Structure 1
Amino acid sequence: MSILSILMKSDKDEPSSAPRSDCGLCMPEKETVIWRGAFWRLIDVGEAAAPGALRLIVNRHVTELSWLAKPEREQLFDLLQVIDESMRQELKPTKINIASLGNQVPHMHWHIIPRWHDDPYFPQSIWSAAQRDTVSPQLDARHQAAQKLFAKLPKVCAKAVY
């Protein structure tokens, strides 16, 4: 049983959660951290065509949802909810996509992506081929709203988990 399992009162024998030198999320070269808590950190993805796109990343190396300890799972869903609510309030998107894939980067993380009916990829995923161009004034306004969201999120996230 791992030390983390004992400390978090988990009876699971999770695989090692030590940072891995070959993991881009354990050892990021560069990331814009919006908020960091004990278990999770929230970063700005910096996707020009998807202003406000975020990534919620577990701090220790975990690859599967079922390997999260109970406090990590509880915080995950509390954080997803308050981020979703804040994003709706500030950005007023048509839809918010929340996804955890992990095929290319096997480290638990969640994509939180605001979507608009006129964004370049809608209704497909943002990893698809662009369907259209987004008009610059709309995109500029969304980038400004995203900056307001990013300024608000540290307090919102901290309040949700502490």
Structure 2
Amino acid sequence: MFTLDQTLARDCAVVGDLPLCRLLLMNDSQYPWLILVPRQDGLREICQLDDDQQAKLMNESNLVSHILLQEFGAEKLNVAALGNMVPQLHLHHIARYAGDPAWPKPVWGALPPKPYSADALEERLARLQRSLAAVGSPLSFPA
């Protein structure tokens, strides 16, 4: 059974489930920041996925990247699987802009997160879900 790391659960809101991954929105309104987490326990590295799962992860990463580019007009994407503080395999997708608060440096540790207001979080999640539906992405919702 899949269990989301406590840190990710605390710091993120669930957008929904794609075929392989749970898609999360980082609760930091300074950046459009999405995270893919393969729904398999015990993974730390991409190479631990089998070939089919790696292909699905790449497809889902491309989907999320296109949404950040098209829906949020990202000038640059930062895509990374660091895992230094959260060992569960997860892949960050961060839309970056020349005028964002951390530019041109990495976002990690640059500034404290600015959580979304309840209304803004609800609107951002709905916008992402609509964007995924518009491209025919199979999105389900965890129980």
- For 2:132, the equivalent position in structure 1 comes to 153
Relative contact order (C-alpha < 8 Å, sep 6+): which is higher? 2
Q: Give the deviation of 1:29 after TM superposition.
A: 5.2
CA contact (8 A) 1:97 1:115 kept: yes
2: distance between equivalents of 1:83 and 1:129?
A: 23
Which ranges in structure 2 are unaligned for 5 or more consecutive residues?
112-122
Counterpart in 2 of 1:59? Answer: 39
- How far did 1:151 drift? 2.6
Give 1:103 shift: 1.0
Instruction: Tell whether the 8 Å contact from 1:34 to 1:42 is kept in structure 2 after alignment.
Output: yes
Residue segments in structure 1 that go unaligned for 5+ positions in a row: 1-17, 131-143
2:79 aligned to which of 94, 98, 122? 98
CA distance in 2, matches of 1:24, 1:107: 10
Q: Give 2:66's aligned amino acid.
A: E
* Corresponding residue for residue 11 of structure 1: none
**How far did residue 150 of structure 1 move?**
4.2
Q: Which runs of 4 or more aligned residues in structure 1 lie more than 6 Å from their structure 2 counterparts after TM superposition?
A: none
Deviation at 1:94, TM superposition (A): 1.3
Question: Which of 1 and 2 has greater Rg?
Answer: 1
Q: Assess if the C-alpha contact under 8 Å between 1:35 and 1:153 holds in 2.
A: no
Three-state SS of the structure 2 residue aligned to 1:32 is strand
Q: 1:37–1:85: structure 2 CA closer, same or farther, 3 Å change rule?
A: closer
Query: Sequence identity of aligned pairs in percent?
Result: 24
Q: State the distance in 2 between where 1:105 and 1:43 align.
A: 14
Length, aligned pairs only: 126
CA contact (8 A) 2:12 2:27 kept: no
1:129 maps to which residue? 110
- Partner Cα separation in structure 2 for residue 24 and residue 70 of structure 1: 28
Provide, for residues 97-144 of structure 1, a one-character-per-residue CA deviation record: whole Å limited to 9, x for no partner.
1000011111110010000100000000111435xxxxxxxxxxxxx7
CA contact (8 A) 1:40 1:59 kept: yes
Mapping for residues 101-112 of structure 1, pairs under 5 Å: 101-112=82-93
Number of the residue aligned with 2:115: none
Report the secondary structure of 1:49's partner residue. Answer: coil
Identify the residue that residue 24 of structure 1 maps to in structure 2.
Answer: 6
How far 1:38 sits from its partner (Å)? Answer: 4.2
TM-score, with length taken from structure 2: 0.74
Alpha-carbon separation, structure 1, partners of 2:10 and 2:110: 27
